Amino acid sequence: MDDQRLKVGQVFVAGGPPTITYNPRSELNLEERIQDYLDEGYRILSVSGSTKTGKTVLVRRVIPQGEGIWLSGGAINSSEQFWETIAEHLGLFTSIERSSDSKDETWRTAMGQANVGVLKGGIDKKEIVGTISGEKVSRTRNVVTQVREALRGGMTPLIIDDFHYVPQALQMEIVRSLKDLVFDGLRVIVIAVPHRAYDVVRVEREMTGRVQQVSVGFWSQDELAGIARKGFDALKVVDKDEALIARLAEESFASPHLMQDFCLQLCKANGYRYAQDEFRQLVAPDWNSFFADRASMASKSAFDLLARGPRQRTDRKERQLRSGSVTDIYGAVLAAIAHTGPGTELTYEEIRAALKDVLSSDAPQRHEVTRILEEMTKIAANEIPGEPVVDYDVELGKLYISDPYFAFFLRWGVPGLS
């Protein structure tokens, strides 16, 4: 019986494409805007949003993988690889072989009789004896030329996910090579994080006015709550006053991925792994241990790399936190960031004020703090896989935490950090 019931993991899908709990965010008209682009074309569409806010899920909802040519920016390392990958998707043959044969044949015929029941008849037995000779000629077609011919004017869209992972010089090469195909009707969609949403224009100024933007944006508390409502209803579990839903949405850092995971784990904590036969009430877990358990695996390696700092370093001055922990300036800055909530967009002044709150000694000087934030940004960009978890903008004096899982880890993953 269990095998036929709906499983909780089929309802709440963390990190994959949900079906039952998919929220189209209808008030933003996101699906309609992508469909309008597919209908109209003659531009490049840039779909942007912070990491784990559902950009790829949204586009795949409109264009399933079998209906588009899907490429991953993280797997594109050269122009040759870009074109060859598309050729593979299209099933193109890059070599042509022709052969010509000549035959020298002799026919031999033998006559015979056959008896089958009351029927009699003659049988001709023929065989061919001879030789065949010929030659084969082959040539290889240029992959780029062949792919461009196949794409030109076609209605199958080309989607490049994580376009921001493609090296900038290669981005320029790709955009320039696609420009005339877009003019001829090819639909091209790039998916990127917000501060890289205009990469297409930045690398190729001639695309100005030829790029359409769709911003996914952060999820509201009510949009996140919609995930829980749909899933709980499908599983026949009840959060009567929605206090549990509100708490989960509050801790999700505007990320549907985190919300899906929290709902999944809450059902399991209540012993519900399948849809129930009748509606049953959910009860609150010990929230501290619930969230601490969720944070134990989230972004720990990223935190460790940032807390360690650069590989080449001198002995650092110890810093005493009010929590009783002893750390250095890198640990102190991370503790200050965590103390803010953490906020996902922090000014230098907010970080400076938080440092005064978490340290039992005097806060470091401004130049020390900004230097640490810049070093963390380098580490996040160069040593941590994926989208940088932190990014400090020197000109604006702002720190961005782009990964909700990292923000969640700062809040729950390191006891006594702040």
- CATH number of the CATH domain containing 166: 3.40.50.300
Do 316 and 380 belong together in one domain?
yes
**395 Cβ partners below 8 Å, 6+ apart?**
none
pLDDT score recorded for residue 181? 94
Report how far residue 391's alpha carbon sits from residue 401's, in angstroms, rounded to the nearest whole number: 7
Average of pLDDT values for 12-30? 93
Cβ count near 202 (within 10 Å) = 15
pLDDT score recorded for residue 3? 57
pLDDT score recorded for residue 100? 55
Omega prior to 18 cis, within 30 of 0: no
Do 185 and 223 belong together in one domain?
no
Cβ atoms 363, 355 nearer than 8 A: yes
Average of pLDDT values for 73-101? 82
Give strand ranges (E) for 216-325: 237-238, 280-281, 319-320
CA 411 to chain centre: 24
pLDDT at residue 363 above 90?
Answer: no
In a domain, 106, yes or no: no
pLDDT in tens, 200-232: 666 556 666 688 889 898 899 999 999 999 999
Indicate the length of the chain as a whole number. Answer: 418
Average of pLDDT values for 191-196? 73
Do 245 and 362 belong together in one domain?
no
Cβ atoms 329, 368 nearer than 8 A: yes
pLDDT score recorded for residue 137? 47
Question: 35: part of which helix (H) or strand (E)?
Answer: helix 30-40
Q: Which residue has the tokens 């720190």?
A: 399
Do 358 and 389 belong together in one domain?
yes
Cβ atoms 272, 8 nearer than 8 A: yes
Q: Is the dihedral of CA 393, 396, 402, 408 positive or negative?
A: positive
Out of 121-135, 183-197, 277-291, the most confident range is 277-291
Q: Is the dihedral of CA 14, 49, 398, 340 positive or negative?
A: negative
Average of pLDDT values for 300-324? 85
In a domain, 122, yes or no: no
Do 198 and 344 belong together in one domain?
no
Last-in-domain residue among 190, 215, 240: 215
pLDDT score recorded for residue 151? 93
pLDDT at residue 199 above 70?
Answer: no
pLDDT score recorded for residue 313? 59
Q: Six-digit token pair at 287? A: 């929230």
Out of 73-82, 85-94, 315-324, the most confident range is 73-82
Report how far residue 35's alpha carbon sits from residue 68's, in angstroms, rounded to the nearest whole number: 13
Split at pLDDT 50, 70, 90, the class of 51 is confident
pLDDT score recorded for residue 318? 87
The chain-wide mean pLDDT, for the chain, equals 85
Torsion of Cα atoms, 220 then 226 then 227 then 230, to 10°: 180
Q: Is the dihedral of CA 364, 365, 367, 373 positive or negative?
A: positive
Out of 32-46, 94-108, 299-313, 315-329, the most confident range is 32-46
Average of pLDDT values for 112-133? 44
pLDDT score recorded for residue 242? 97
Split at pLDDT 50, 70, 90, the class of 172 is confident
Instruction: Return the closest-CA partner of residue 258 out of 74, 412, 31.
Output: 412
Average of pLDDT values for 53-65? 92
Residue 272 vs residues 229, 261, 350: alpha-carbon distances, Å: 16, 14, 42
Q: Which amino acid is at 17?
A: P
Average of pLDDT values for 132-152? 74
Burial grade of 8 (CB within 10 A; 0-12, 13-18, 19 or more): buried
Report how far residue 148's alpha carbon sits from residue 90's, in angstroms, rounded to the nearest whole number: 11
In a domain, 293, yes or no: no
Considering only 138-142, 268-272, 405-409, which range has the smallest mean pLDDT? 138-142
pLDDT score recorded for residue 125? 45
pLDDT at residue 8 above 80?
Answer: yes
Radius of gyration of the chain (CA): 31
Do 322 and 388 belong together in one domain?
yes
Split at pLDDT 50, 70, 90, the class of 131 is low
Q: Six-digit token pair at 155? A: 């209605």
Q: Six-digit token pair at 65? A: 């993988």
Average of pLDDT values for 84-108? 69
CA 368 to chain centre: 35
pLDDT at residue 361 above 60?
Answer: yes
Domain hosting 239: range is 2-14+219-285
Residue 329 vs residues 232, 258, 321, 344, 365: alpha-carbon distances, Å: 45, 30, 11, 21, 11
Do 324 and 403 belong together in one domain?
yes
Residue 319 vs residues 263, 307, 358, 387: alpha-carbon distances, Å: 38, 13, 10, 30
pLDDT score recorded for residue 236? 97
pLDDT in tens, 64-85: 988 999 999 989 999 999 999 9
Percent of the chain's residues with pLDDT above 90: 58
Report how far residue 95's alpha carbon sits from residue 98's, in angstroms, rounded to the nearest whole number: 10
Do 237 and 166 belong together in one domain?
no
Do 182 and 251 belong together in one domain?
no
**pTM reported for the whole predicted model:** 0.79
Average of pLDDT values for 194-202? 60
In a domain, 123, yes or no: no
Task: Using DSSP, state whether 9 is helix, strand or coil.
Answer: helix
Split at pLDDT 50, 70, 90, the class of 139 is very low
pLDDT at residue 129 above 60?
Answer: no
Report how far residue 372's alpha carbon sits from residue 232's, in angstroms, rounded to the nearest whole number: 44
Domains in the chain, number: 3
pLDDT score recorded for residue 117? 38
Secondary structure letter of residue 26 according to DSSP:
G
The region, left, alpha or beta by phi > 0 then psi within -120 to 50, assigned to residue 42 is left
Do 177 and 248 belong together in one domain?
no
Percent of the chain's residues with pLDDT above 70: 83
pLDDT score recorded for residue 1? 44
Report how far residue 339's alpha carbon sits from residue 354's, in angstroms, rounded to the nearest whole number: 6
Do 232 and 272 belong together in one domain?
yes
In a domain, 21, yes or no: no
